[in-house]
Chain A
Amino acid sequence: MFELILTIWQDAIALLPDVLQPFAAIISKIVVILMPLIICVAFLTLAERKIIGYMQVRIGPNRVGPRGLLQPFADTFKLMFKEIIIPSNSNKFLFVGAPLITFAPAVAAWAVIPFDEGMALSNINAGLLYVLAITSIGVYGVIIAGWASNSKYAFLGAMRSSAQIVSYEIAMGFALVGVLIASGSLNMHEIVVAQKGSVLNWFALPLFPLFMVYFISGVAETNRAPFDVAEGESEIVAGFHVEYSGMAFAVFFLAEYANMILISALAAIMFLGGWYSPLAGLGVVSDTLFALPYIGWAFDSGFHWLFFKIAFFLLMFLWFRATFPRYRYDQIMRLGWKVFIPITIVWLLVAGVMVLAEIPPWFDKGGLS
């Protein structure tokens, strides 16, 4: 079935003029990445409300469709028909452009994410550098939105939000350098392959402090609870996007959730072995499991494992929101600068020593792959 669709599609592309063929191929791949991503974002919003609902002994949305499954679509259509208010003394061009500047990097970063062995839109050498560069563009959207709105709440929210994002970006960057030391490559594909073997080969073990720092910084980067002072609804209403309504707000919303999924995907790729199965490398056990008829593939490495790992991190995002009270702003800055940066600097040196001393089972030459 899958092969048939692929063949028909390739034939369809072959009918185009020669100049357009590569572009058509690239754009169809982009659609194959982008559409599931948007659908995931839509259902993540539902999952968030359902899961937090159950955690608080409520039912959550259950009116639209069976068990509320169509709620995201109802929300989308509602937002589509809501007026987009452009405040009279805002900078109109920047006001409309800011959601785009936040949204485009959040999806474009997916260009280098490897979903399975050899399955990435673009397998560039500087993959991780690209991700770091493009995700940091998102903060411009926040600043521009807050400035262009010309509203005090939006302005304060943007200041807080951008200061928080840049502070945690340092800790995040250091954590990424740790991964680079361990893998010796900027290429996302090679970073995953460097973790081949069993669960013990995943970088989450030797780089455990960096893993924790990375994920917590990721939560802070996306302005999620408990670090959501930027949009703390009880004091500055909604932060930088207080003046946005209708689809303009929806684009910010999409970008925030796409960023959550991106952070989860990166954490899974860099620390939890990407598409590798946790059951691999167990000798006889994994051999028998993988050889099982019909269901054996489910235990073997593949895209579905990356999907499960991403889902696990997303659950963490939601769980944090249901569990922790909001941090105070000075506590957030203290955590970022005085706790995370010292931890990461120390662990960078530890990682360097581990690599140079070739500590098994992670860094001994020839033992891996």
Chain B
Amino acid sequence: MLEEYLPIWIFMLVGLGFGAVLLTVGFVLSPHRPDSEKLSPYECGFEAFEDTRMKFDVRYYLVAILFIIFDLEIAFLFPWAIVLDEIGWFGFGAMFIFLAILVIGFIYEWKKGALEWE
């Protein structure tokens, strides 16, 4: 079964290679006449001011953390979903309790306003 993964590796390499070829073709065929105005960051006609790597809203960070929690939950659900036929109602009950605990956390987040965007 593991040899089935060889085509996938090759496909990834072909994908990367194809993209690289496209970029190379672009670099070779296109003109290359840089000047300092052209190479400055685009800011709708203004001179660029301040550094771009500025502070950003903490809510993006919050979204990332919540994403990790829920994505892990999905990772737990995957094997459970596959064998649900075999583990029957007992397995269903176990996962129900697990989901219930997570839903309590989800409701807490919701009430605390972690999901609000003004």
Which residues of A are at the interface with B, using a C-beta cutoff of 8 A? 22-23, 26-27, 29-30, 34, 79-89, 96, 99-100, 103-108, 110-112, 121-125, 129-130, 149-155, 159, 162-163, 166-167, 169-170, 173-174, 176-178, 180-181, 184-186, 237, 242-243, 246-248, 250-251, 254, 329-330, 333-334, 337-338, 341, 345, 348-349, 352-353, 355-356
Residues of B within 8 A of A (CB): 1, 4-8, 10-12, 14-16, 18-20, 22-23, 25-27, 29-34, 36, 38-44, 48, 52-54, 56-57, 60, 63-64, 66-67, 70-71, 74, 77-78, 81-82, 84-85, 88-89, 92, 95-96, 99, 103, 106, 110, 115-118
In the complex, A167 Cα to B66 Cα: how many Å? 9
Q: Are A349 and B60 in contact (CB under 8 A)?
A: no
Chain B at the A interface: SS class: helix
What residues on B are CB-neighbors of A178 within 8 Å? 81
20 A-B pairs besides A81-B31, A166-B67 with CB distance below 8 A are A84-B23, A87-B41, A88-B39, A99-B23, A100-B16, A103-B15, A124-B8, A159-B56, A170-B74, A177-B77, A177-B81, A237-B44, A242-B42, A243-B41, A246-B26, A248-B23, A254-B22, A329-B117, A345-B99, A356-B84
Choose from A80, A180, A254 the contact partner of B78 (Cβ within 8 Å): A180
Q: Which chain B residue lies CB-closest to A26?
A: B7
How many inter-chain residue pairs (CB < 8 Å) link A and B?
Answer: 206
A85 to chain B, nearest CB (A): 6
Given known pairs A124-B1, A352-B92, the reply for A85 and B39 (CB within 8 Å) is yes
Helix, strand, loop or mixed for chain A's interface?
Answer: helix
Q: Is the CB of B41 within 8 A of A89?
A: yes
Question: Contact at A356–B30, with CB atoms within 8 Å?
Answer: no
Report yes or no: B23 in contact with A174, Cβ–Cβ below 8 A: no
**Could you show 13 A-B contacts with beta carbons less than 8 Å apart?**
A23-B10, A26-B10, A96-B23, A111-B8, A111-B11, A121-B8, A151-B41, A155-B56, A180-B82, A242-B42, A247-B26, A338-B115, A352-B84
